[in-house]
Structure 1
């Protein structure tokens, strides 16, 4: 905000990655089904944010509010980052929802019950974001100003409602170097990334089921060759062969995961797997699993003709995989039999 959060004015390039990570559902061990959560559903959101985004949405009676609106706004504000180093703006805005201290004093509450109202606590920050946006949506609806009430509310969040009143709408590109104008346009245009089927419902317990649940929160996240890690998605790189789309390097401008980084993220920190698919196979190959005995969380591997292991997936059951197929695609669910060429299937291991 200019008055509440620092807005990045760069557009989000939504491209997907080249490697693959899969999740499959095990019969009798864990089950999965697509669910929606109201407001168009919610996907592609870190697990630690998901619960609070849905709570913030449910607490607001304004029809223009939706989980995807809050998620896209959080992504624009902080990319879901929570550390002081990564989520403090040059203007002094703090936390994943980028509150300036005076604005936080108005909207901040101890939502997570830990005894402190802090803009750095995910629950506190998201619920405060929801309260402020709900109030702004109501003001926008009652203002009579032309345009999308969501755009007006977002402009108020970024620049302050006084600026919306001054311009009787979203401030133009000439205001603040276009920061507020771009902020509004980017969030509204990227909401669709967070809409749609929600989490896979995964029953069962243990490291494997937990890893599957965590990985499933990333459905819809773009593929970025070389991107991602234990802390979440990040931009990747191109190596002369991988990471390109339509002749250009997509990975370097795409925030996402590749196959092995998604697996690493899913298991971290309880099991600290290495970064690449080949290294993950070598780290777990002493615990092989036959295809008939797969359980949720087992890792599945594919290799090319020269023996190089190019893909890893997490087994979740029911013959399906959740994976990041390749550059230009998103983390998604597909049948195990068609996710990768069957002739390349190497085997499975249990971390």
Structure 2
């Protein structure tokens, strides 16, 4: 767990837009790896797009407030520089982006991405295992009476084993093991500001619509995967002969993300169990139609190929002030755009209020 590689991320085309109780950052999707997204206030930036959903998933599953997205990201950067290739192996034999030793992986590794194997080189498997281990170490730190810097204690345990923390009743000193653990802990904590966002997505108000919009906004920057995603979050999708392809290859099957309707389903779950497809979501909410002039935050907007409900092909969530949050198409990411530019305006079919 010693590989240190600096990744310099350039934030491009950022525009802060104030909208009717919703403050969002509109992102350029030209450079997914250099954009900033937020998880609803804690913030994250400078992280490759493919790592973001798994970092958020690991943090949400832990529920220890000290395990923040920025801490996970800084640790991954310290461990491997976000490397996923099979050469990401330390001199000691630690493997993958989170640099797990085989014995430690046997304890914490799981098949998080559902591809049938628990692999320390798979991003989802590695990051969620990192989260589980850090979560456990944070809990140990809180009961050990070695001080209140729980993040430092957990990081030391991750690097050197909890036995070393117990031996020194805290982070091992710089004089121990050539300062490896001491430097590891201090480097990660010093790097936190680099990965902390500015709390860009801030949604006020209450109610199902505002809550769903807030939840969807946490996924800004997540890749589009046709057929991917669901109530539990992003996942790989599939190709059906027409959809999911990029430059002639099936991108959906290797992309962890959402499509338009799974993002909506995720946003409203578990308070409202909307069906999976855009057309079915329209059918489930069409008895509460809303005119374009009366849209409210959280309303669903639909587009159709031929003006009929049976040909609805896209759904988005209204974010206020003429903007929507949606997952547009293969090769793009979840984004905030104007309603008029989200899809061809001539295809706009109508809106409903879930």
**TM-score, normalised via structure 2 length:** 0.58
Residue by residue over 1:135-163, the C-alpha shift from the partner in whole angstroms, topping out at 9 and shown as x without a partner, is 75987998477xx969x98xxxxxxxxxx
Retained in 2: the 8 A contact 1:97–1:129?
A: no
* Aligned CA-pair RMSD: 4.8
1:129–1:250: structure 2 CA closer, same or farther, 3 Å change rule? farther
What is the Cα deviation at residue 85 of structure 1? 8.3
Report 1 or 2 for greater relative contact order, CA contacts < 8 Å, sequence distance ≥ 6: 1
What is the Cα deviation at residue 130 of structure 1? 6.6
Instruction: Give 2:278's aligned residue.
Output: 277
Residues 250-259 or 313-322, more deviating: 313-322
Q: Of the candidates 60, 80, 96, which is equivalent to residue 49 of structure 1?
A: 60
Instruction: Give 1:14's aligned residue.
Output: none
Q: Of the candidates 15, 24, 37, which is equivalent to residue 33 of structure 1?
A: 24
Q: Does 1:327 align with 2:330?
A: yes
**TM-score, normalised via structure 1 length:** 0.59
Retained in 2: the 8 A contact 1:221–1:331?
A: yes
What is the Cα deviation at residue 108 of structure 1? 2.9
Instruction: Give 1:17's aligned residue.
Output: none
Partner-residue secondary structure (3-state), 1:264: helix
Q: Does 1:310 align with 2:313?
A: yes
Residue by residue over 1:147-204, the C-alpha shift from the partner in whole angstroms, topping out at 9 and shown as x without a partner, is x969x98xxxxxxxxxxxxxxxxxxxxxxxxxxxxxxxxxxxxxx9x87664511011
Retained in 2: the 8 A contact 1:290–1:348?
A: yes
The whole-number CA distance in structure 2 between the counterparts of 1:314 and 1:248 is 29
Partner-residue secondary structure (3-state), 2:232: coil
The whole-number CA distance in structure 1 between the counterparts of 2:119 and 2:22 is 46
What is the Cα deviation at residue 295 of structure 1? 1.0
Instruction: Give 2:74's aligned residue.
Output: 69
What is the Cα deviation at residue 41 of structure 1? 7.4
What is the Cα deviation at residue 39 of structure 1? 7.0
Partner-residue secondary structure (3-state), 2:287: coil
Retained in 2: the 8 A contact 1:219–1:331?
A: yes
The whole-number CA distance in structure 2 between the counterparts of 1:71 and 1:281 is 41
Instruction: Give 2:227's aligned residue.
Output: 226
Retained in 2: the 8 A contact 1:26–1:295?
A: no
What is the Cα deviation at residue 99 of structure 1? 2.9
The whole-number CA distance in structure 2 between the counterparts of 1:266 and 1:70 is 29
What is the Cα deviation at residue 279 of structure 1? 0.2
The whole-number CA distance in structure 1 between the counterparts of 2:254 and 2:173 is 34
Residue by residue over 1:106-127, the C-alpha shift from the partner in whole angstroms, topping out at 9 and shown as x without a partner, is 653487xxxx99xxxxxxxxx9
What is the Cα deviation at residue 341 of structure 1? 0.9
Point out where structure 2 has 5 or more consecutive residues left out of the alignment: 2-16, 26-37, 85-96, 99-107, 121-125, 161-170, 189-193
Q: Of the candidates 322, 335, 339, which is equivalent to residue 336 of structure 1?
A: 339
1:210-221 mapped onto 2 (5 Å cutoff): 210-221=211-222
What is the Cα deviation at residue 69 of structure 1? 2.9
Q: Does 1:261 align with 2:292?
A: no
1:57–1:196: structure 2 CA closer, same or farther, 3 Å change rule? closer
Retained in 1: the 8 A contact 2:59–2:67?
A: no
Q: How many positions carry a matched residue from both structures?
A: 260
What is the Cα deviation at residue 56 of structure 1? 3.9
Partner-residue secondary structure (3-state), 1:273: coil
1:231–1:246: structure 2 CA closer, same or farther, 3 Å change rule? same
The whole-number CA distance in structure 2 between the counterparts of 1:25 and 1:315 is 14
1:279–1:298: structure 2 CA closer, same or farther, 3 Å change rule? same
The whole-number CA distance in structure 2 between the counterparts of 1:134 and 1:337 is 51
Residue by residue over 1:66-99, the C-alpha shift from the partner in whole angstroms, topping out at 9 and shown as x without a partner, is 553358899967xxxx9x98599699x9966243
Q: Does 1:250 align with 2:251?
A: yes
The whole-number CA distance in structure 2 between the counterparts of 1:49 and 1:134 is 22
Instruction: Give 1:132's aligned residue.
Output: 154
The whole-number CA distance in structure 1 between the counterparts of 2:251 and 2:244 is 6
Partner-residue secondary structure (3-state), 2:303: strand
